Structure 1
């Protein structure tokens, strides 16, 4: 356990930030999973509805610096390719 006041504060901040980041990533993963399931099922209408939601979640995570912006952009690009690849 930390003895210095600033180290104690940083430990508390770290716990709070971790909880917040996990909450955001949970939303991102849920939106991603729903989109991926729609694509896997071949349901283009559902995939088109879920695509903007998934993209928005990744943008939100990137803007809050939970994930790197390039990682979010790569995921969004993959989503778009999967959506266009559906027959």
Structure 2
């Protein structure tokens, strides 16, 4: 399985969520890049967020965002250490 541009766009949205607060969501405005709008809609369809234009993470979405942000941290740290 490879990372498609669609999956990368979804990971980018998940990486934007502040995991330090469950009271803080995201809003993907209609003026955002079409790839971001589509990614948010797919995350909603997968029950990872509670609104098609962002909103809050669901329980499953929080797990996914934690993993996505951890992976980004690991890959970024490894790149800087090399």
Greater helix percent: which structure? 1
Normalising by structure 1, what TM-score? 0.31
Greater strand percent: which structure? 2
Normalising by structure 2, what TM-score? 0.33
- Structure number with greater Rg is 1
